[in-house]
Every structure is written in structure tokens, then in C-alpha cells.
Structure 1
Amino acid sequence: MALRLPRRPRRVVAYVRAGAALLDLGVVPVAVYGSGHDGSGLDPVKAGELAAAGVPYLGPGRLLTGDPGGALGGVRPDLVVDVTYDGKSGYALDEAVVERLGVPLVALSVGADLALAGILERFGQLAEVLRGEAGGHGDSSAVSAAEAEVAAAAGAPAVLALSGAGPEQVHLARPQAWPELARLRELGVRLVEPGSGAGTGWLTTGWERAAELEPSVVLVDSRANAVRVESSEHPAAWRAVAERARLVPWNPETPPSPAAFARFFREVAAALRG
């Protein structure tokens, strides 16, 4: 990340995931926007503390324009912060929209090209620049302590991460494609592979395949766009697994802040301990 500006930005608009992380790190955005998965309302799972802080939601990024009189232009940003999964382009907002406003765009990587520690470090660095001061909000000790809990509890339980797609289909996460899952694996957690097939981040398959993996702990996509795993419409084989497994809410778009990931790792550790 290299960005040189004549003055420190004061009015930051961010993709909701980035905005929630910045808020945790002491920077209050003037507004946030969503992704193509989001609707007219802010998904509370993705929002972190944004709603409580009174940060307005502008709607999905794909609906925003570069019109100075539009929703984005109306909040008069002097910096837009997005995320990127491919290291090339912003995820939730077209760069051309921001260019029409004459505002710089920063897209920080949250993909598998960086380890989780590197992702947290970059968000911490950006927050320090925006606050105009070093330290104070991005203490990594909370993550380290939570990781120690995970390492102490890791072992035999098989862990599966997934996102419900419908009554017949489920997206099974490929652990190495998700920095937090890769980190759990490094800490000794036995995350199961979904198997071969199309898709770099997910394998889309039937619930029967998820049942065949016999997980003891299931990390369940808790975002608003994901289907509940306990639905009576799912096949019986999966319902039996869901009834006996320990279910942990997992936000695949967890805000990249030490506080947010420390909470998630502590919940995983508690489920591993049983």
C-alpha cells in the first residue's frame, strides 16, 4: 500500500468490512457501503459496531454513482477504503465511480495472498495514518491470547467451515483460501478439506457431502445472505450432523481488526473444548 496525499484524510467512506475494522481501530467513517450480497439495509453481522456508532449506510456499492449529488458524493469523502481479494481491484465499488468524484481509493488485500497477521498489520497501519497517531487501538496481544486458547484446545475434533446456499446446496470452504481458516490450521485445528471440484474459495455441493465429512465442529456463515444450516428442508443426513455438532457463527467478512478476530478465535476455542 502506497498512498501520498497533500493532507491527512478526514472524511473516510469505506466498504462495510473495512469500515467496521477502522472503527475498531479508532477511525470513525463518515459512511459505509455494501457489496453485491447486501441490500438496502446494513447486515448486522458484517456491521460490527458501525450501527451503534451511528455510521450511515449508503447501500450496495454497485448502485452508487460518481454523481457529486448522489449518495456517495453527498457525504463529501476525501478517501474511499475498499478491500481486494485478487490484489488488483476493489471488491465492492468500481474504481471508475471514485475517479469521477476525484477522490483517492485504497483497496487493502484480505485474500489468501497475505497471512492473517499481515492483513491486520496493514489495516492497523492505515488506521494510524488516518488517526494521525501511532498505536492505541490495534493491540495484537488480544489475538495472540485467543490464538493460544485455540492451540491449547486443538486436536481431534474435525472442523468444517461452510455457507448455506439453499435446501439442496451448500458452499464448503477451502481452508487455505481463507486467511483466518489457514491460521486456525497453523494452530493445530483439524479443518477438513471439502474435496476436488470447481471453485477456489468454496466447493459448491450437496448437503450430503457435508454430512459425509462428519464434522464435530461447524463454522457456519452467519451473514444475512447465507441459508441457515438447521433448516428442516435440508437432507436428513445433514440434519443429523447439525443436531450433534457444535455450531460456531463465522463471518467470512470479519472486520480485519485484532478485536474482531480475537472474539472469533475465542469462540472457536470454546467449541473445540466442547
Structure 2
Amino acid sequence: MSGPVLARRGFLSATAGLAAAMTLAACGDDGGTQTPATAGSSAPAAQSWSFTDDRDKKIEQPQVPSRIVAQVGAAAALWDFGVRPIAVFGPHKLKDGSKDPQVGNVDITKVQGLGNVWDEFNVEQYIALQPDLLVSSMYIKGTLWYVPEKSKDTIEQIAPTAGIMLTGKSATEVIGKYEELAESLGADMRGVPEAKARMEAATKELAQFKDLKILMASGGADAFWVVNPPEYPDIVHLTQAGLNVVTPSKVDEGGFFQTLSWENADEYDADVILYDTRTQALKPEEMMKKPTFAKLPAVKAGQLYPWNAEAPYSYQGYADFLENLVANVKKAKKLL
């Protein structure tokens, strides 16, 4: 990986032979679970299945997939729609053993973990699970998030893969694609209307904050990243709803953000700063040790609020995200 992929990994993320592994799978080691893919579903086993993903790839199976493995963001979205993956990969467990927020409502005691950090994916365990389908989001078309390049070819030989594109789309579009996938898998959609109504109500409330200038950023040990709104589904949703989010004047290769040194963290003024809450990002108290950041008007006024940068792409996930955002920004006042 190079260029924008490496850059994005720095911001956001921070095998044995195939024949031997297939032998292991043939011995019947399926990870000790036969968990169905959907909860409250009675999709006929003999029903054929097809789905066209965001690579414009039509995936066809003689039966509806029931043994699904998903990257944590995809797993969180599918879980809220009623689909129950048997395994996940990507950040799902913190150092103390508790659940990483990125995995959403997924019960990590009921799924197998195939890897918790970047470039970690246990291919032997994956094969032994005998999966029917792998699902992941994509920031770059054709590149499945958290599927390691070194083992991609092997992974794609084991089971079909589905990719859901994030970049350049609104949250509503991404959620709609996950909804389509969940429906095709036979998920019980009874909770969708209520969650969708909550999301729509919270979205309407955002227009009242249109006069506030909002900066969305993430802090690292040596860099301060200012995100570029058009590249992120959640920020596209916020700007379409009326929020005035700072757009950096110059973005790095790949277009996702502008990297600033901490000495230049005051490049952009704002009434409100929304900070990345993921585990790899600096916490507010750590960022406030940087003198230039501490002097920013929004920081001095205490108008520094959390940004759930990878909220699950479900109506429930976005209802929670937007309701919390509205509650926080209601406390802010115009400073500039």
C-alpha cells in the first residue's frame, strides 16, 4: 500500500498455505458455532441469492448466505438491521478486553475475532469457519477495508466478498445499501421505521446551528488532521442538513484531510470543534497539552465535543450519533 492508502491508514487506523488450511476446514473445525446470519429470520434454505455491491459486482449464491464474516464497521451496521455475523475483523476489543466502540451493538462474546488491528487477519481461522460471505466497507473502490493486501487473494478464494462504498456518498446512501444487503439476507426489519424516524428528526434539528462554524478533526502524536467534508458520509450528511463545516484549503494526496503540525493547529478558526473519539486518536486532555490547540477560541470556550467518526451505518446508529450531536451543539454559542 502507498500514497493515499497509507495516509488514510495513519489517520483512521491507526498465513499458512491455502491447501493446509483447507484441510483444517475439512476436518470439521468450524469455530464451534453454527450461528445463523439473521435474527428472527426464516429465509428458506433453498432460496437462491444475489446482490450487486458497490464494485458493480453481482454476487450469486445457490442459497442465502448464513455464515457471514464482516469488518467491524460493516458488522455494526448489519447487526442493527438484524444480521448476525459469525466473526469480525478490525478494531473490536480494547486492551482491557472491553468492546471497542467501533463495533457498535455487536455482542463480541458471540462472534469470533479474526484480527483486531490493521494488517491482522487470521486466514486459517477464517477458512475453518467455512464462511458463505465476507462484507466490508470501502474508502477506495475495490479495496476492502481491513482486508490485508498480503492475504487478499487467498481470502477471496474462500468465499464471495461484498464491498460497500463510503467515500463520496452521504450517510443516507450508505445506510440504504446496508439496508438492501440486510433485506436480501432475510433480516427482520421491524425496528427500522422507528429508528429511521429518529434519525430524520435529529437531522432536521441540525439546521438551527447553521450560523456556527464547525471544525471536525483528529489528533495524533505528531499531527493534527482537519477532515475534508465531501469525502465522509457522516459529514456529507451534516452539511446537507445545514451545518457549516470547515473545508481545508489544501488537502493531502487522496483528498481525505489536511495534515497540520501541532504548531499549525490554529490554521482554522471555529466556534465548535468536533474531535475524533476513536481509540487511536488523542483524547481532548492530551490535545489540550499542545499550546496552539489550547489557545483556539472553541477550546478556550469549552466548545469541544465528541465526534463518533465511524458511527454504524444503520438508522439506529445514526439516530444515536445525531441525537448526541444535537444535544452537545445546543450548548454552544457563536464566538467568531
TM-score category (smaller protein): 0.7 to 0.9
Could you say which residue in structure 2 is the equivalent of 1:47?
Answer: 103
Q: In 2, Cα distance between the equivalents of 1:132 and 1:212?
A: 47
Q: In 2, Cα distance between the equivalents of 1:9 and 1:197?
A: 41
Contact 1:230–1:239 (CA under 8 A) maintained in structure 2 = no
Quick one: structure 1 residues 209 and 136, their matched pair in 2 at CA, closer, same or farther if it must change by over 3 Å?
farther
TM-score where L is the length of structure 1: 0.87
Quick one: structure 1 residues 171 and 24, their matched pair in 2 at CA, closer, same or farther if it must change by over 3 Å?
same
Quick one: structure 1 residues 88 and 65, their matched pair in 2 at CA, closer, same or farther if it must change by over 3 Å?
same
Kindly provide the amino acid, as one letter, of the partner of residue 110 in structure 2: G
How much has 1:256 moved relative to structure 2?
A: 0.8
How much has 1:217 moved relative to structure 2?
A: 1.8
How much has 1:137 moved relative to structure 2?
A: 3.8
Q: Secondary structure at the match of 1:271?
A: helix
Kindly provide the amino acid, as one letter, of the partner of residue 171 in structure 1: W
Could you say which residue in structure 1 is the equivalent of 2:4?
Answer: none
Matched, 1:107 2:163: yes
Contact 2:225–2:257 (CA under 8 A) maintained in structure 1 = yes
Mapping of 1:124-139 within 5 angstroms? 124-131=179-186, 135-139=189-193
Q: In 2, Cα distance between the equivalents of 1:273 and 1:221?
A: 19
Could you say which residue in structure 2 is the equivalent of 1:147?
Answer: 203
Moved more, 246-255 or 216-225: 246-255
Kindly provide the amino acid, as one letter, of the partner of residue 313 in structure 2: P
Matched, 1:255 2:312: yes
Give CA-to-partner distance per residue, 1:180-201, whole Å, 9 cap, x none: 1122112111111222142411
Paired residues, what number? 264
Q: Secondary structure at the match of 2:284?
A: coil
Contact 1:217–1:271 (CA under 8 A) maintained in structure 2 = no
Quick one: structure 1 residues 261 and 119, their matched pair in 2 at CA, closer, same or farther if it must change by over 3 Å?
same
Q: In 2, Cα distance between the equivalents of 1:157 and 1:12?
A: 43
Could you say which residue in structure 1 is the equivalent of 2:34?
Answer: none
Mapping of 1:199-218 within 5 angstroms? 199=253, 200-218=255-273
Could you say which residue in structure 2 is the equivalent of 1:26?
Answer: 82
How much has 1:208 moved relative to structure 2?
A: 4.5
TM-score where L is the length of structure 2: 0.72
Contact 1:161–1:218 (CA under 8 A) maintained in structure 2 = yes
How much has 1:270 moved relative to structure 2?
A: 1.9
Higher Rg of the two aligned structures: 2
Matched, 1:3 2:59: yes
**Aligned residue among 211, 236, 243 for 1:189:** 243
Q: In 2, Cα distance between the equivalents of 1:159 and 1:247?
A: 10
Contact 2:198–2:319 (CA under 8 A) maintained in structure 1 = yes
Kindly provide the amino acid, as one letter, of the partner of residue 169 in structure 1: A
How much has 1:92 moved relative to structure 2?
A: 1.3
Matched, 1:225 2:249: no
Kindly provide the amino acid, as one letter, of the partner of residue 202 in structure 2: A
How much has 1:165 moved relative to structure 2?
A: 1.1
Q: Secondary structure at the match of 1:219?
A: strand
How much has 1:202 moved relative to structure 2?
A: 1.1
Mapping of 1:230-241 within 5 angstroms? 230-231=285-286, 234-241=289-296
Matched, 1:269 2:326: yes
Q: In 2, Cα distance between the equivalents of 1:234 and 1:43?
A: 28
Kindly provide the amino acid, as one letter, of the partner of residue 79 in structure 1: L
**Aligned residue among 98, 109, 117 for 2:155:** 98
Quick one: structure 1 residues 43 and 177, their matched pair in 2 at CA, closer, same or farther if it must change by over 3 Å?
farther
Q: Secondary structure at the match of 1:73?
A: helix
RMSD of equivalent CA atoms: 2.4
Q: Identity over the aligned pairs, expressed in percent? A: 25
Q: In 1, Cα distance between the equivalents of 2:224 and 2:293?
A: 11
Quick one: structure 1 residues 44 and 65, their matched pair in 2 at CA, closer, same or farther if it must change by over 3 Å?
closer
How much has 1:212 moved relative to structure 2?
A: 4.1
Q: Secondary structure at the match of 2:180?
A: helix
Give CA-to-partner distance per residue, 1:167-226, whole Å, 9 cap, x none: x42111011111211221121111112221424111110235443423222221111111
Q: Secondary structure at the match of 1:211?
A: coil
How much has 1:131 moved relative to structure 2?
A: 2.3
Contact 1:161–1:219 (CA under 8 A) maintained in structure 2 = yes
Moved over 4 A (4+): 38-43
Quick one: structure 1 residues 52 and 202, their matched pair in 2 at CA, closer, same or farther if it must change by over 3 Å?
same
Q: In 1, Cα distance between the equivalents of 2:106 and 2:204?
A: 29
Quick one: structure 1 residues 53 and 150, their matched pair in 2 at CA, closer, same or farther if it must change by over 3 Å?
farther
Could you say which residue in structure 2 is the equivalent of 1:163?
Answer: 218
